[in-house]
DNA sequence: TTAACTTGTAAAGACTTTGTAAAAAGTTGG
DNA sequence: CCAACTTTTTACAAAGTCTTTACAAGTTAA
């Protein structure tokens, strides 16, 4: 259902749009064909967002999945990491990582249509599943 | 799955890119057509990295495969060997041997702008999936 | 509008990991 | 045994990562 999958998704299908490519097997990210070097936490955060592209991921879920924090922990480290990610995404930052006030963040594929299905569903549809 | 193969890979396919050639049968390495003389450990380290080009190899795996060390052993000998390898790779060192902080090292083929995806996935991508 | 709350940002600190040079230890062939 | 070469250790230096702090800026609801 709405649950985020836990654990290692290194076998997930690669993500690709006009500017961003993400290979979860090789833990490699390209932005306009240039290698992006991300720290581990940055990578895990981006991976989680990208693998749920189009979905709002609550702060709590991110802190849970990436940091293992429970709901009681108060920290600003997520914000700091989002900021660094955005910086590394350059001019596309605002396009890609959207803040959903009071809830969390959402990754949007580049030039996402107004109504956008999550990556997993789009992939399934494209494959005729 | 993600396991590194152990043992002797002298029969593996040779590696070749714009600057580097590696023949595992003859244990011969050429850098810009010049023969590179590597010590045994240097050769084994480079061979292991090259045979898994594009993949991150954890320090532990390298220490296991090349040195036979277990996870408990603390040593800096891997770093020293990487350094000497890089020195012998000259100006291409940083291009070829990437440090993945907190994890290990990764050999990248020269000018590898795109991911090397498995055949099945490349086919799917090519078909527009 | 204002008060309460949420997010953005810069900078600093604590800590861990990696790089490097040099010396010590181990190995090999003559 | 000696000399040359290879490998490992040692001891720091350098670099990287993550978190917190403190405050600015933005958002919402009354």
In a domain, B7, yes or no: no
Domain enclosing residue B52, as ranges: 15-126
Exposure string for B51-61, b = 16+ CB within 10 A, e = fewer: beebbbbebeb
Q: Does A26 touch chain B (CB under 8 A)?
A: yes
In a domain, A112, yes or no: yes
Is the Cβ atom of B40 within 7 Å of strand C at any atom? no
Across the range A88-102, mean pLDDT stands at 95
In a domain, B10, yes or no: no
B86 dihedral zone (left: phi>0; alpha: psi -120 to 50; beta) = alpha
In a domain, B2, yes or no: no
In a domain, B4, yes or no: no
Q: Please report the pLDDT score of residue A11 as a whole number.
A: 79
Alpha-carbon gap, residue B39 to B77, rounded angstroms: 14
Contacts 24+ apart (CB under 8 A), B62-67: B62/B104, B62/B105, B65/B4, B65/B6, B66/B41, B67/B41
Question: What total of structural domains would you count in chain A?
Answer: 1
Instruction: Please tell me which residue of chain B has the smallest CA distance to A125.
Output: B129
* Structure confidence at residue B122 as a pLDDT band (50, 70, 90): very low
CATH code assigned at B114: 1.10.10.10
Of A28, A30, A40, which is closest to B102 when you measure between CB atoms? A40
* Structure confidence at residue B115 as a pLDDT band (50, 70, 90): low
Of A13, A26, A123, which is closest to B115 when you measure between CB atoms? A26
């Amino acid at each position: 259902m709405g649950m985020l999958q836990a654990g290692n998704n290194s076998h997930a299908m690669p993500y690709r749009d006009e500017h961003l490519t993400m290979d979860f097997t090789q833990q490699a990210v390209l932005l306009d064909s240039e290698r992006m070097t991300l720290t581990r936490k940055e990578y895990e955060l981006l991976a989680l967002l990208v693998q749920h592209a189009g979905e709002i991921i609550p702060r709590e879920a991110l802190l849970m999945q990436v940091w293992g924090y429970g709901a009681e922990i108060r920290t600003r480290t997520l914000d700091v990491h989002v900021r660094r990610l955005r910086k590394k995404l350059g001019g596309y930052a605002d396009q890609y990582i959207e803040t959903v006030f009071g809830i969390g963040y959402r990754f949007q594929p580049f030039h996402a249509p107004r109504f956008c299905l999550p990556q997993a569903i789009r992939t399934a549809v494209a494959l005729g599943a």
